[in-house]
A and B are shown apart, each in its own frame.
Chain A
Amino acid sequence: MALLHLKNLTKYFGGLAAVDDVSFDVEEGSIVGLIGPNGAGKTTVFNLITGHYVPDKGEIIFDGQNLVKKPTHQIVSLGIARTFQTIRLFKELSVLENAMSGYHCRMKAGIFACMFKPRWQREEEKRAIDIAIKELEFVGLKVDLEQKAKNLSYGNQRLLEIARALATSPKLIILDEPAGGMNDQETQELIQLIRNIRDRKITVLLIEHDMNLVMDVCEYIVVLDNGKKISEGSPEQVREDPRVIEAYLGIDEE
């Protein structure tokens, strides 16, 4: 059984079907790309998976559990972490604290433990810092711990979002246009990073406009157009598929 299984997923905005009867599987340990022209419904699919929207129809099964109607924070603790298309960091807080926020959902300390700081609470706090630093090191931001997040470069802000998502110790990480605003060299490093994430047995699902990145890093690709799935398969299969070419380039109507 696939790690993530979408079945007949449908979401309307007003009368418009933003996502229309979309089904696909994400196998455990794979890198899957979700592509399509602007407005195809890719981000809506992500928002449905992560619980920001509730689907009008269909099922989302993750690791044997139905995610529909579960609140976002609970979906995160079940093991799905995400990054945002427009960077959403906690700008005024330090890089370390941003990364620590991911581990929040794995911590137990409540209000009284935070006030009276028993030993286990202090140890938990230490563990949170260790994990945050480990993930920052993994994405290559360890030198900037004390900086405010807003002072990082654009590319580094994207990396910090990935570190924050990894700190939730996810089974599946969802990347929404991770290469947006990155230069060529940063993109190359990102490709390597995505592979390293997969090597840690974390499944990757990503939306990306940069076709080179998608074709290079993804093992399986799902193509959406106007809310519908029009193709899926290996990068080679998708590239040759006439429906995909039509969606991206248009077709002569003769």
Chain B
Amino acid sequence: MNRKYITTIIVIAFFLSPLFLNSYWVDVLNNIGIYAILALSLNFILGDTGLFHMGHAAFFAVGAYTTAILNTMYHIPIILLIPFSGITAAIFAYLVARPIIHLRGDYLLIVTIGIVEIVRIALINNIFGLTGGSNGIFGISRPNLLGLVIRRPEHFFYYIWIFLAISVFLFERLRNSRFGRALNYIKEDEVAAEGTGVNIARYKLIAFVIGAFWAGMVGNIYASKMTIISPESFTFWESVVYFCIVILGGSGSISGVILGSFLLIGLPEIFREFSQARMLAFGLAMIIMMIVRPQGLIPPPPRKYDVYMDKKFAEN
């Protein structure tokens, strides 16, 4: 009970933090939020299902460019484009993942790296004359939520973190269901999962599609926050950062992934004055972490079932 109390207080304090932080730090929190949602969507694929996917920035890019193109060319409101960006990213994920879904471990990893590079190079080359080449697209409008234009970092703080809270709520529900268990069965032992009746190809594909759907929606938020996007925001390195957040925080653990985002995105900001040295310390910290705590900072907690409780009552 006490723990629940403390968590509530921290969450409330966090949601009030824009009141006493300057715009710079609020923007840092916004970045953390964006990375956290992206990492949560990757966690679905990498953490829960165990698929080594290092090209998540590709789905993020598809979502961001969908929003940018449709908003600048046809002036469709940003908010309406949120689900649409998710859907285009999901369709893209379905098309690229379908032929490679049976690949295992390292092979899948290499192919997904290929995908993110292809997307980046396609964007630089101004594919279909839509993406604006290496300059990208500028002049994307701000989200307009029922007359309230979201513009200042404080606005975006609530916009992003409420979106994150909804995502966490839904992901947690998915985790505690037939669907979440099926993903874990696949992660634990593919052959046994198929042998007990789980359609593994289908579930892997759905994991990809849902992860991409969420990444696409974050792409929309990112595009409207920056108002300008260019291919350099969607590099292989970005994908590596999401990957590290998930592995460092704890594969399959929602709270772990959020903590991971704070550490990987927030800490470098705090130690900004040490410039290059901080990245060195950072790399070292990652190495040490992987040696002493390979399961991540907060490994996923076991699911709870009512029957566990019943049994304890029965014993008393």
The answer to whether the Cβ of A50 comes within 8 Å of any Cβ in the partner chain is: yes
- CB closest chain-A residue, reference B308: A146
The answer to whether the Cβ of B302 comes within 8 Å of any Cβ in the partner chain is: yes
* B188, B193, B196, B199: residue with the most chain A Cβ atoms closer than 10 Å: B196
Question: CB within 8 Å of A: which of B137-194?
Answer: 170, 173-174, 177-182, 184-185, 188-189, 191-194
Taking a contact as CB atoms under 8 Å apart, the answer to whether B184 and A90 are in contact is: yes
Q: Which of A101, A115, A164 lies in contact with B174, CB distance below 8 A?
A: A115
The answer for the CA separation of A46 and B120 in the assembled complex, in Å, is: 47
Q: Which residues of B contact A52 (CB under 8 A)?
A: 191, 195
- B199 to chain A minimum Cβ distance, whole angstroms, is 5
Q: Which residues of B contact A116 (CB under 8 A)?
A: 173
The answer to whether the Cβ of A23 comes within 8 Å of any Cβ in the partner chain is: no
* B177, B194, B198, B206: residue with the most chain A Cβ atoms closer than 10 Å: B177
The answer for the CA separation of A74 and B306 in the assembled complex, in Å, is: 31
- CB closest chain-B residue, reference A110: B179
* Residue interface mask A108-150, B partner, CB < 8 A = 1: 0111001111000100110011000100000000000110100
- B11 to chain A minimum Cβ distance, whole angstroms, is 22
- B304 to chain A minimum Cβ distance, whole angstroms, is 9
Taking a contact as CB atoms under 8 Å apart, the answer to whether A109 and B177 are in contact is: yes
The answer for the CA separation of A105 and B197 in the assembled complex, in Å, is: 5
Taking a contact as CB atoms under 8 Å apart, the answer to whether B189 and A77 are in contact is: no
* Residue interface mask B299-313, A partner, CB < 8 A = 1: 000110111100100
The answer for the CA separation of A133 and B314 in the assembled complex, in Å, is: 15
Taking a contact as CB atoms under 8 Å apart, the answer to whether A88 and B197 are in contact is: no
The answer for the CA separation of A117 and B174 in the assembled complex, in Å, is: 9
Q: Which of A93, A124, A148, A168 lies in contact with B197, CB distance below 8 A?
A: A168
Taking a contact as CB atoms under 8 Å apart, the answer to whether A168 and B196 are in contact is: yes
- CB closest chain-A residue, reference B174: A114
The answer to whether the Cβ of A91 comes within 8 Å of any Cβ in the partner chain is: yes
- A96 to chain B minimum Cβ distance, whole angstroms, is 6
Q: Which residues of A contact B189 (CB under 8 A)?
A: 88-91
Q: Which residues of A contact B182 (CB under 8 A)?
A: 101, 104
Taking a contact as CB atoms under 8 Å apart, the answer to whether B181 and A101 are in contact is: yes
* Residue interface mask B277-316, A partner, CB < 8 A = 1: 0000000000000000000000000110111100100000
| Residue total for B at the interface (Cβ-Cβ under 8 A) | 32
Q: Which residues of B contact A101 (CB under 8 A)?
A: 181-182, 185, 193, 196-198
- A235 to chain B minimum Cβ distance, whole angstroms, is 29
Taking a contact as CB atoms under 8 Å apart, the answer to whether A76 and B177 are in contact is: no
Taking a contact as CB atoms under 8 Å apart, the answer to whether B174 and A93 are in contact is: no
The answer for the CA separation of A179 and B27 in the assembled complex, in Å, is: 62
The answer to whether the Cβ of B200 comes within 8 Å of any Cβ in the partner chain is: yes
The answer to whether the Cβ of B210 comes within 8 Å of any Cβ in the partner chain is: yes
* B189, B199, B308, B311: residue with the most chain A Cβ atoms closer than 10 Å: B199
* Residue interface mask B17-29, A partner, CB < 8 A = 1: 0000000000000
- B163 to chain A minimum Cβ distance, whole angstroms, is 15
Q: Which residues of B contact A88 (CB under 8 A)?
A: 189, 191-192, 195
- B312 to chain A minimum Cβ distance, whole angstroms, is 9
Q: Which residues of B contact A91 (CB under 8 A)?
A: 188-189
Q: Which residues of A contact B194 (CB under 8 A)?
A: 71-73
Taking a contact as CB atoms under 8 Å apart, the answer to whether B210 and A111 are in contact is: yes
- A62 to chain B minimum Cβ distance, whole angstroms, is 15
Q: Which residues of B contact A117 (CB under 8 A)?
A: 173, 177
The answer for the CA separation of A84 and B193 in the assembled complex, in Å, is: 12
Taking a contact as CB atoms under 8 Å apart, the answer to whether B311 and A104 are in contact is: no
The answer for the CA separation of A253 and B257 in the assembled complex, in Å, is: 69
- A106 to chain B minimum Cβ distance, whole angstroms, is 8
- B212 to chain A minimum Cβ distance, whole angstroms, is 14
The answer for the CA separation of A76 and B196 in the assembled complex, in Å, is: 7
Taking a contact as CB atoms under 8 Å apart, the answer to whether B200 and A73 are in contact is: yes
- CB closest chain-B residue, reference A72: B194
The answer for the CA separation of A55 and B240 in the assembled complex, in Å, is: 42
Q: Which residues of A contact B199 (CB under 8 A)?
A: 71, 73-74
Query: Given that A90-B189, A91-B188, A105-B198 are known contacts, is A97 also in contact with B307, CB under 8 Å in the complex?
Result: no
Q: Which of A76, A96, A102 lies in contact with B305, CB distance below 8 A?
A: A96
Q: Which residues of A contact B311 (CB under 8 A)?
A: 145-146
The answer for the CA separation of A90 and B182 in the assembled complex, in Å, is: 11
Query: Given that A97-B181, A133-B307, A145-B308 are known contacts, is A104 also in contact with B198, CB under 8 Å in the complex?
Result: yes
The answer for the CA separation of A100 and B302 in the assembled complex, in Å, is: 15
Q: Which 3 A-B pairs have the closest CB atoms?
A: A105-B197, A76-B197, A114-B177
A-B contact pairs, 27 of them (CB 8 A): A50-B195, A72-B195, A73-B194, A73-B197, A73-B199, A81-B196, A84-B195, A89-B189, A90-B189, A92-B188, A97-B184, A100-B181, A101-B182, A102-B197, A104-B197, A104-B198, A109-B179, A110-B179, A114-B174, A115-B173, A116-B173, A117-B173, A128-B178, A145-B311, A148-B302, A168-B196, A168-B197
* Contacts beyond the supplied A73-B198, A104-B196, A117-B177: 18 A-B pairs with Cβ under 8 Å: A52-B195, A71-B199, A73-B194, A73-B200, A77-B197, A81-B196, A84-B191, A84-B195, A92-B188, A97-B181, A97-B184, A101-B193, A104-B182, A114-B178, A115-B174, A146-B308, A164-B196, A168-B196
